Amino acid sequence: MNRKERIILHIDVNSAFLSFEAVHRLQHGATVDVRKIPSAVAGSQATRHGIILAKSLPAKAYGVKTGEASWEAKQKCPGIVLIPPDYPLYMCCHRALVRLLKDYSDKVQVFSIDECFMEAPGMLMKEESIRFAHRIREHVRQELGFTVSVGVSTNKLLAKMGSELKKPDAVSTLFPPEVGKKMWPLPVEDLYGVGRAAAAKLHRYEIHTIGDLAETDVKLLSYLFKSYSRDHGQMLWEYAHGVERSDIMTSGPPTKSIGNSCTVHFDVEDRETAHAVLLSLAETVGMRLRLANLCGRVIGVSIRKSGDLVTYSHQVKIQSSIDCTDAIYEYCRRLFDAAWKGEPIRGLGVWVNDLSSSGYIQLSALEKDWDEKKKVDRTVDAIRAKYGPFSIVRGNFVQSGLAPLAGGAGGDAGFPVMTSIL
């Protein structure tokens, strides 16, 4: 590559949640940098949220993996320091990173809480693009205190694969001519778009590396993955060759769905308790809908069984779009009653789909008029906005042992994640 090209960078925060914690703690007088000891950000085991969300490099050396149960991590690494997650702090760090990147380019695409794509302004030579990436890497470390890995290439897929090549605090190129040398030796499951199911299938056909995948007849791949989507096999083959054509999207696609789910601290075995959990979930889902000025026509609940952790769901499409907490709750209660088979429940979820802007609500004559309830919603939203989310809660939850507002990361959560097109 010896001419000017359009350059795409992928910026990936190293051990994001753990790094954010480390920086925050150091800023507040901590003497230990948790990045330098075996540590991890993990939910509480007591409330059955005990999985590893991010780990330090020393913890990784003990074999601790993201997504595994905390007790497993403790077995592998008895001295591990576990830190409870603080999502508002992580959102703060995320916003600071995005602000910094936007000083370098108008074309920044937020991909998740710890990943961004960006297009370098103008066309650059290879050496210039590497210098550009280092400038950003250095600036982030100096100003924000955490490190990033930067992948440099000419499309988003290769930039993303590139940022994986070296961590932490590193810049790696993965230009198309380097694909054979740097990407093909990697295990096929490292390729973006190859998950557990696809990897198992590929291994059965003796396709073990990305290079193997690249050499496979695209017709065979189309056949193997036809149940995923019409073009999934073709897409994987193109990815294996480093081909990907999507643009940097500076504004996310419109929201398609808003939902919240939660693992309950104990097994739910009766309808009344399940209803209470659904109400607390409907509260957060309703608030998020109203905040986004959205209404939805498809209401759904999901039920996660305690024994095998398998989830099943039930949904309904209604005549008019709603955003009212009580309306959502009422549909969810009916859905739950119709779907629940009576087994112990580990967790419940509520979601609303088929969204439209709340300006266009058409109230069907067949359905309830929720006007009065909507006024209550607005009042409650306003009080919570001013005095905090728990300033006003429903009487049902007092002393119930249940959270009045359920759901994970809260109002700021929800990053669009693209599957077929980066």
Partner DNA sequence: TCTGGGGTCCTAGGACCC
Interface ranges with DNA (CB under 7 A): 43, 45-46, 48-51, 53, 67, 69-71, 111-115, 160, 192-199, 226-230, 253, 255-263, 284, 288, 298, 300, 309, 312-317, 339, 346-347, 349, 351, 407-409, 413-420
* CB-based contact 359:293 (threshold 8 Å): yes
Q: What is the residue type of 324?
A: C
Q: Taking the complex as a whole, how short is the minimal distance between the CB of residue 97 and DNA, in angstroms?
A: 13
> Least distance from C-beta 1 to DNA, angstroms?
25
Nearer to DNA, 182 or 346 (CB): 346
Answer for the pair 52, 73: CB distance below 8 angstroms, yes or no. yes
Minimum CB distance to DNA smaller for 36 or for 230: 230
Dihedral class, residue 377 (left if φ above 0, else alpha if ψ from -120 to 50, else beta) = alpha
Burial (CB < 10 A; 0-12, 13-18, 19+), residue 66, is: middle
Say how many Å lie between the first and final Cα of the chain, rounded: 24
Q: Which is nearer to DNA, 53 or 171 (CB)?
A: 53
Nearer residue to DNA within complex by CB, 1 or 298: 298
Indicate the length of the chain as a whole number: 422
Q: In the complex with DNA, which residue's Cβ is closer, 114 or 323?
A: 114
Closest CA to 4 of 147, 104, 154: 154
Q: How far is the CB of 189 from DNA (least distance, A)?
A: 8
Residue 117 DSSP label: E
Whether 367 is catalytic is: no
Q: Which of 8, 13, 15 is nearest to 173 (CA)?
A: 8
- The distance of closest approach from Cβ of residue 319 to DNA in the complex, given in angstroms and rounded to an integer, is 9
Active-site choice (5, 21, 115, 283): 115
Q: Quick one: angle between helices 16-27 and 87-102, nearest 10?
A: 100
* Cβ 28 to DNA shortest distance, Å: 25
Angle, helices 271-291/371-387, rounded to nearest 10 degrees:
80
Active site residues: 115
